[in-house]
Amino acid sequence: MTGRVIVITSGKGGVGKTTSCANIGTALAKNGAKVALIDTDIGLRNLDLLMGLENRIVYTIIDVIEERCKLNQALVKDKKNPNLVLLAAAQTRDKTALTAEQMQDICNRLKEEFDFVLVDSPAGIEQGFQNAIAGADEAVVVTTPEMSAVRDADRIIGLLEAKEEIKGYKLLLNRVRPAMIKANDMMSVEDVTDILSVKLIGIIPEDEDIIVSTNKGEPIVNMDNTKAGIAYSNVARRILGEDVPFISLEPPTGWLDKIKNLFLVGANS
Amino acid sequence: MKLLDKKINEVLNSKFNQRLNEIVGEIVSRLGNVLGTENITVKKTSLNSKDDARSRLKLVLMHDRSKLDPGTLGKMRDELVDVISRYVEIDREALDLNLDENESNTIALVANIPIIRNK
């Protein structure tokens, strides 16, 4: 079997790479795919926390390349889905502990066993980023509708285009606030895709439940009826080849609805 | 009549009436906004800052993509003025050199060089 290696990257930090990696991976596994997640943010690992697996990490990617354990021993199984595993980053080392060739080798070995290998990239464009994209076939570029994140995404897209091995990349627009877009105070989905001239793989609305999900160490796709959870599930289905329409971005109730609500409350009291 | 007054007072004091007052207050303030008497609050809810973001971002990306920062562009502009001045008399200050993006997303260097007269 030859799986697909997809790197989740962004340039700018804090736009949701790790959250996206955890959720897309979990959603793919829920659809029956065999999925391996790799955290390449050596020294600043967090994917284990978002997956709620921080207490189960024995070996890391550095232990694998320095031959202190076999690759299979370092793969930590997800709490719920046996089809999903995590290869954690080392916390006590830095980005120089790994080379692009070693990363490529690990990706090649994993894609023989798994349908999907999702690589969580660190922020920046230095060695850590170069390592993360080394074994990738495709990329998901995460950005938010903010100038600095879009500018950094453009830089990343330039670097991805220069790399022949990467056959395609798509944009994941995160933390979208429909009410601000409607008020003309946030760039719209079209504004961002126009400026970057790139195709979309998903639109994730800003959702407070993401914080709850992180607190619990439970990816939001495992929580019922959350805006971001539904959006991430849709991303996974699109990656699997399904034609899923993008969710509507209608902002919640305006002042007219508020007055209606006041009347309803008044009638009840 | 006194009985009616009492009833009216009861209604006025009821919770529902307080709600109604709040609603009327909301409607009056909203109407104020619509009529332009409280333009400031309207502006607070929308600053239309998206267009600023869009145009600033487009400009900065043109510089990023072309690897030409405003300083280099200025230097190039000065050198261009020197070269062209050898052949035609131009208005040094009015020479305008900018980056522009055309429909196919390619970046162009666009110069506008007003000539004073032939030498």
Which domains are seen in chain A, by residue range?
Answer: 4-268 (3.40.50.300)
| pLDDT of A251 over the 90 cut | no
d(CA A205, CA A250): 11
Q: Residue B86: what are its φ and ψ, rounded to 5°?
A: -65, -25
Interface predicted TM-score (ipTM) over 0.85: no
d(CA B112, CA B88): 14
User: For the whole model, what pTM was predicted?
Assistant: 0.79
How many residue pairs from chains A and B have C-beta atoms closer than 8 A? 63
Average the pLDDT over A112-119 and give the result.
Answer: 98
d(CA A61, CA A99): 12
User: What H or E segment, with its residue span, contains residue A135?
Assistant: none
d(CA A189, CA A174): 10
Q: Residue A266 and residue B16: Cβ atoms within 8 Å?
A: yes
Average the pLDDT over B46-70 and give the result.
Answer: 89
At A175, the pLDDT band (50, 70, 90 cuts) reads very high
| pLDDT of A111 over the 70 cut | yes
pLDDT for the residue B35: 57
Q: Among A150, A191, A269, whose Cβ lies nearest the Cβ of B15?
A: A269
> Who has greater pLDDT, A243 or B9?
A243
pLDDT for the residue B93: 84
Bridge partners for A9 per DSSP: A141
Domains of chain B, residue spans: 2-45, 49-118
User: Is B102 in CB contact (< 8 Å) with chain A?
Assistant: no
pLDDT for the residue B42: 46
Helix (H, G, I), strand (E, B) or coil at A130: helix
User: What H or E segment, with its residue span, contains residue B44?
Assistant: helix B39-45
Q: Residue B50 and residue A263: Cβ atoms within 8 Å?
A: no
Q: Residue A262 and residue B19: Cβ atoms within 8 Å?
A: yes
pLDDT for the residue B22: 73
Q: C-alpha angle with apex A77: A86 to A19, nearest 5 degrees? A: 40
User: Is B27 in CB contact (< 8 Å) with chain A?
Assistant: yes
Instruction: Give the mean pLDDT of chain B.
Output: 76
Q: Among A151, A185, A267, whose Cβ lies nearest the Cβ of B50?
A: A185
pLDDT for the residue A265: 46
Q: Among A185, A186, A195, whose Cβ lies nearest the Cβ of B61?
A: A195
How near does any CA of chain A get to the CA of B12, in Å? 14
Using an 8 Å CB-CB cutoff, list chain A residues near B107. none
Average the pLDDT over A63-71 and give the result.
Answer: 97
Average the pLDDT over A55-81 and give the result.
Answer: 97
d(CA B99, CA B88): 24
Helix (H, G, I), strand (E, B) or coil at B117: strand
pLDDT for the residue B91: 85
Helix (H, G, I), strand (E, B) or coil at A30: helix
Q: Residue A185 and residue B26: Cβ atoms within 8 Å?
A: no
For testing the chain B interface, which of A12, A185, A262, A264 should be mutated: the one with the most B CBs within 10 Å? A185
Using an 8 Å CB-CB cutoff, list chain B residues near A187. 50, 53-54, 57
Average the pLDDT over A149-157 and give the result.
Answer: 97
Query: Running DSSP on this structure, what letter comes out for residue A12?
Result: S
d(CA A81, CA A84): 6
| pLDDT of A103 over the 70 cut | yes
pLDDT for the residue A7: 98
Q: Residue A195 and residue B48: Cβ atoms within 8 Å?
A: no
Answer positive or negative: Cα dihedral of A130, A131, A134, A136: negative
At B40, the pLDDT band (50, 70, 90 cuts) reads very low
At B70, the pLDDT band (50, 70, 90 cuts) reads confident
pLDDT for the residue B43: 46
> Who has greater pLDDT, A132 or B106?
A132
Indicate the angle between helix axes B49-66 and A147-161, nearest 10 degrees. 30
**Exposure string for A84-100, b = 16+ CB within 10 A, e = fewer:** bbbbbbbbeeebebbee
User: A50-54, A238-242, B92-96: which has the minimum mean pLDDT?
Assistant: B92-96
d(CA A115, CA B89): 68
> What are the pLDDT digits (tens) for A185-237?
999 999 999 999 999 999 999 999 999 999 999 999 999 999 999 999 999 99
d(CA A142, CA B107): 25
pLDDT for the residue A266: 42
Helix (H, G, I), strand (E, B) or coil at A6: strand
| pLDDT of A107 over the 80 cut | yes
Average the pLDDT over B81-100 and give the result.
Answer: 87
Instruction: Give the mean pLDDT of chain A.
Output: 93
